[in-house]
Amino acid sequence: MSIATTKQYWTSRYNGTDPAVVTGTNNEEYTATGSGASASGGYWVITDQVLSITPTTNEYTMLSCFYYNTAPDASEVLMSLDNGTHKAEVKVNGTKFSLVGTTTENTIDVDIDASDDAPVILRLTLDSSGTAKLYLREIVYDWEGSDHFISVTGSSSSGSKHMKWGNTTGSVNWASVYATHMGAFSPEELSPSSWTTDTLHRIGLSLVDTLRNSQRLYLKTHVDDSSIQYGFDLSSSMVSRLRPPTVHVVLAGVSSPTMMTLGGGVVEQDYRVDVYITTAGSDYKEAYKMGMEICGEVVDEVYTTTGLNGTTDSLEQFQSSFDSKMDDDENFCVHQLTFTYRRRVNMRRR
């Protein structure tokens, strides 16, 4: 996982108005080819227009939300990324979409016309090695844990870099298109919402990634990476599916001491993160001791790798709560750690 840093963000953000007219800060404009487009009801309605940006880097992400008024012709290119060596395109394929590179992969059937409840959301990424991925509705894995995205190797490029979207046939209502030339990011690495990226991704999921990458004794040898999870579901039935020892990270809440901005565009926010360490042993004493060992390594890893920059990112508070045996047949132990971070967040990229 490569979660977007505070210096990686959407470099172009369009939400229903003319994409060739810049709004907001840190927001690059598109160059338009074709004149068949106009604003209507909060959408940019295109019948014949392609919008493009020429980047200088070689890893891109583009996220689009749209629906059809009239379906474009078969094989119409809706999204295209080219990093100078590889190119990937999303093409119309009936009620599916095709991801085209050196090979072609197709999505599942989706509802794309105006009669449906919500427009479709597509995320196309291309990395420097030429791997392209297409995510549907911002879902990475299905309920069984299988990949919910398709992937191909990009085809050979003509050498001209670009990030493009639009259509030249049919009529498409484009609600939003976000793009960045700062990396190839999955839905768990960069969200359309800066607030979600600042909270869930850069605090919660990033901390999971930090603990999975730890080289400390117990975290490396006793806790499997698959047993270090973000606590989306802490119900007993879900937690019991994982064999102890396990580590669950939960972003418990976010607050701001004051809403006063610093320098006009930066705010301070406090993040409370709970970490639950679950262990089991031949008797409760062994489970308790193992839990303490893992707790110690979590504390050390979190302290030494996060929250030490006093000007932008700092650990403000720490608390711990240790479990005790209450029932004779109990052999599971759950210790809890609570960290409070204070971070300065840039509010200009919205």
Intervals of CATH 3.30.2000.10 along the chain: 194-346
How much is the pLDDT for 349? 65
Sheet holding 228-230, edge to edge: 228-230, 246-255, 266-280, 332-346, 313-321, 308-309
If 0-12 CB within 10 Å is exposed, 13-18 middle and 19+ buried, where does residue 26 land?
middle
> Which pTM does this prediction carry?
0.86
How much is the pLDDT for 310? 59
Domain boundaries 194-346, corresponding CATH code: 3.30.2000.10
Intervals of CATH 2.60.120.200 along the chain: 12-180
Residue partners of 305: CB distance under 8 A and separation at least 6: 210
Residue partners of 339: CB distance under 8 A and separation at least 6: 272, 273, 275, 302, 307, 315, 317, 318
| Beta-strand pair 313-321/308-309 | antiparallel
How much is the pLDDT for 180? 97
How much is the pLDDT for 329? 64
Of 2, 6, 101, 92, which is closest to residue 349 (Cα–Cα)? 6
Domain 12-180: CATH class, spelled out: mainly beta
Of 75, 83, 67, which is closest to residue 104 (Cα–Cα)? 75
Give the pLDDT of the chain (350 residues) as one tens digit per residue: 588 888 899 999 988 888 888 776 778 889 999 989 999 999 999 999 999 999 999 999 999 999 999 999 999 999 999 999 999 999 999 999 999 999 999 998 888 876 666 789 999 999 999 999 999 988 887 665 567 899 999 999 988 999 999 999 999 999 999 999 999 999 999 999 988 988 899 889 999 999 999 999 999 999 999 999 999 888 877 777 888 999 999 999 988 776 555 555 777 788 999 999 999 988 889 999 999 999 999 999 998 888 776 556 788 889 999 998 777 666 789 999 999 988 877 766 66
Which residue type sits at 100?
V
